[in-house]
Amino acid sequence: GQSLEQPSEVTAVEGAIVQINCTYQTSGFYGLSWYQQHDGGAPTFLSYNALDGLEETGRFSSFLSRSDSYGYLLLQELQMKDSASYFCASGMFSGGYNKLIFGAGTRLAVHP
Amino acid sequence: NAGVTQTPKFQVLKTGQSMTLQCAQDMNHNSMYWYRQDPGMGLRLIYYSASEGTTDKGEVPNGYNVSRLNKREFSLRLESAAPSQTSVYFCASRKPRTGVQETQYFGPGTRLLVL
């Protein structure tokens, strides 16, 4: 079957760095995405890795290792507004179509 | 651009009632999706539409039907609501994958309570 695993909760202090890991088992895999969701809000796109290596977008970076079926999201210089849930999602190609399979999410709490 | 819009924002139904959730996007995307999100869980795909006139089942299609009315609109229908369908429903559209980019844009969600 298709599955992704990520930690359920992470806590950090303002200004720190935090890494959220994600392992996946997905047939037809073509890439790993990360989405942020604040309480009561909609998921918003953060980052995408199609190739092995690091992608950097401002304070956020994402990494993918296809051989290890593993990726992570790195958040630097944490701010209070980064308190949210973060979802990894594997892109899979199935039946001629592209779909995303989401992990259960990691709830990040940033403290002063 | 409004992006992805959904109506209604909130809805309370009694068991057995029917309703249609509406979704529209103005980004000229071909692919559209319906997800449900339950507490403490990620998003699960209900149905998707790769293009106008085509729809297909996702992970959890039972109890739902969809219509891709045109390129802009993708509706989700509950014919006979059940308490297990209490959830937050998100519609999304997908920017075509170009190079190494792959992005889905989500609507604000519909919060549905079935009593």
Q: Which residues of B touch A102 (CB under 8 A)?
A: 35, 42-44
The two beta strands, B110-114 and B10-13, are parallel
State which residues of chain B have pLDDT below 70. 97-101
Q: Note whether A105 contacts B: Cβ–Cβ < 8 A.
A: yes
How far apart, in Å, do the first and last CA atoms of chain A sit?
41
Question: Are the beta carbons of A87 and A43 closer than 8 angstroms?
Answer: yes
- Phi first, then psi: give them for residue B3, nearest 5 degrees: 80, -125
Question: Are the beta carbons of A87 and A34 closer than 8 angstroms?
Answer: yes
Grade residue A103 by pLDDT with cuts at 50, 70 and 90. Answer: very high
Question: For residue B48, which of B28, B64, B27 has the smallest C-alpha distance?
Answer: B64
Rounded to an integer, what distance in angstroms lies between the CA atom of residue B50 and that of residue B89?
A: 19
Q: What is the pLDDT of residues A1-13, one digit of tens each?
A: 678 999 999 999 9
Sign, CA dihedral B91-B93-B99-B101, equals negative
Count of beta carbons in the 10 Å neighbourhood of residue B18: 10
Q: Which two tokens stand for residue B46?
A: 């209900």
Task: Please give the sequence-ordered ranges of beta strands (E in DSSP) within B14-58, or none if there are none.
Answer: 19-25, 31-37, 43-49, 56-57
Asked if B97's CB is within 8 angstroms of A98's CB, the reply is yes
pLDDT value at residue B101: 60
Of A71 and B96, more confident: A71
Which residue of A42, A51, A91 is in closest CB contact with B109?
A: A42
> Chain B window 51-80: which residues touch A at a Cβ cutoff of 8 Å?
56, 58-59
Grade residue A27 by pLDDT with cuts at 50, 70 and 90. Answer: confident
Which chain B residue shows the shortest CA-CA distance from A96?
A: B50
Choose the mutation target among B5, B37, B43 for the interface with A, i.e. most A CBs under 10 Å: B43
Q: Note whether A93 contacts B: Cβ–Cβ < 8 A.
A: no
Rounded to an integer, what distance in angstroms lies between the CA atom of residue A4 and that of residue A70?
A: 10
Residue B57's Cβ-count burial label (10 Å; 0-12, 13-18, 19+) is middle
Q: Which residues of A touch B42 (CB under 8 A)?
A: 4, 87, 89, 102-105
pLDDT value at residue A36: 97
Residue A22 has pLDDT above 80, yes or no: yes
Residue A80 has pLDDT above 80, yes or no: yes
Of A106 and B98, more confident: A106
Question: Are the beta carbons of A103 and A89 closer than 8 angstroms?
Answer: yes
pLDDT value at residue A106: 97
